[in-house]
Amino acid sequence: MISQLEKEITFRFLRARKNDGFLNIISIFSFVGIGLGVAVLIIVMSVMNGFRAELINKIVGFNSHITVKPYDKKINQDKFSNSQLDFISNQLILSNSGEAIIMKKNTSKGIILRGYKENDFSKLKIINNNSFIGNRNDLNNYNISIGKELSFTLNVNIGDKITIMSPVGVETIIGTLPKQQTFTIVSLFESGLVDFDNNIAFVNLETLEELFDFDIRDRNLEIYLKDPQNIEKQKKIVQKVFPDEFIYSWSDMNKSLFSALKVERNVMFIILSLIIIVAAFNIISGLTILVKNKTREIAILKSIGVLNKSIIKIFFLIGVIIGTSATIFGIFLGVTFSIYVEDIRQLLSTLFSISLFPEEIYFLSTMPSEINIFSIFIISMCSIVITIIVSIFPALKAAKLDPIKNLKYE
């Protein structure tokens, strides 16, 4: 426990005096350094968490959460009514896909065609957003829905016709030729990811199977979950329901990307933690100088019966108070900056006429930020623990002072 005397002496030593000028500068640098270190860590972690969350939302919004792919037998549709599957899923949709070449006048491009039944196509999340243009319920026969980026690449619009060339060959009198089919553009979608919008198109499932000579047994099952974030646990449930099929999730398809983001976030945490460590070492300097300046006071305290452990507590508390108050200041600064990071970005971009977050590079129109309470707690604890560690040495040094020797020369 900390006695009232220890508290009063601690706060008395914390008060600035005129002859403590250099000491005050070191204390201010310690406070500002730790505060800025904590703030920068919170801001960086919030932006990286926000970027990851936005990326997941866009990927999850475009792809199925879990895909069940048959090996050699058709997927048993009786299992679609399984109670466990019904508990975790919102939608179960049959689909198929294949690679083809899309052509319009002198422009050709490789794309991935995804096939859905007409009533299933209108259930997709990407189709039910405000950026979708066209008829959601007209994906039949030889109609096609393409991304807005692809429409810019091909210079086409709704109502235009395009030609799709399949890798499947057709026997003719002059030999084998690739199968071709003309499609009419009935809608334009926008996922928010340029790569998806420029390389994927939707057609009717039966039309796709005819174009690629697919068998009905090749159809995949796309499962859209109620909670796509908690993917691993739900993937195991699906694997139990479909033990003889190949199961993969959105996380499996983007494992390398999210692994890289995780490694980058951890490395940034370690590097930026060095700011706090460097600033914390200023506390050692400040407390050491404080001990030197307060030699007479320490000797007097010891001579009137104040124990060594009380001296240790006093100087230890001074370091902890500086570090803790700086951490609180850093949390306030970091959280405030994280909340208004997009407004600050726009202000800086306007003032200096520079692009701080190019949309064409990051595929996001705004700088994302997601404040994670657990991350803030970890950062705060790391900062306070570092402060506690660096406060121990000066406190022990203060307790070792010999009161007789120090008072002899006063």
When pLDDT is cut at 50, 70 and 90, the band that residue 195 belongs to is: confident
Task: State the average pLDDT over residues 76-96.
Answer: 87
Q: What pLDDT does residue 261 have?
A: 73
Question: What are the two backbone dihedrals, phi and then psi, of residue 83, each rounded to the nearest 5 degrees?
Answer: -65, -40
Q: What's CA 86's distance to the chain center, in Å?
A: 29
Task: State the average pLDDT over residues 352-375.
Answer: 72
Q: Identify which of 39, 22, 23, 46 has the alpha carbon closest to the alpha carbon of residue 276.
A: 39
Q: What pLDDT does residue 203 have?
A: 93
Distances (CA, A) of 61 to 47, 115, 255: 21, 17, 17
Range among 12-16, 76-80, 329-333 rated most confident: 329-333
* Cα 93 to Cα 117: distance, rounded to the nearest angstrom: 9
**pLDDT over 80 (residue 249):** yes
pLDDT by residue (tens digit) across 148-168?
889 988 889 999 999 998 887
Of 174-178, 239-243, 316-320, 384-388, where does mean pLDDT reach its minimum? 174-178
When pLDDT is cut at 50, 70 and 90, the band that residue 116 belongs to is: very high
Q: What pLDDT does residue 161 have?
A: 92
**pLDDT over 90 (residue 202):** yes
* Cα 130 to Cα 337: distance, rounded to the nearest angstrom: 30
DSSP 3-state assignment of 171? Answer: strand
Q: What pLDDT does residue 172 have?
A: 63
* Mean pLDDT over each residue of the chain, to the nearest integer: 81
What b-and-e string marks burial along 196-229, b requiring 16 or more CB atoms within 10 Å of the CB?
bbbbbbbbbbbbbbbbbebeeebbbbbbbbeebe
pLDDT by residue (tens digit) across 223-234?
888 888 778 888
**What are the extents of the domains in the chain?**
4-56+257-408, 66-227
Task: State the average pLDDT over residues 170-196.
Answer: 79
How many percent of the chain have pLDDT more than 90?
11
When pLDDT is cut at 50, 70 and 90, the band that residue 146 belongs to is: very high
Q: What pLDDT does residue 274 have?
A: 80
Return the number of other C-beta atoms located less than 10 Å from residue 143's C-beta: 19
Task: State the average pLDDT over residues 311-320.
Answer: 81
Q: Select the more confidently predicted residue: 259 or 202.
A: 202
Q: What pLDDT does residue 183 have?
A: 93
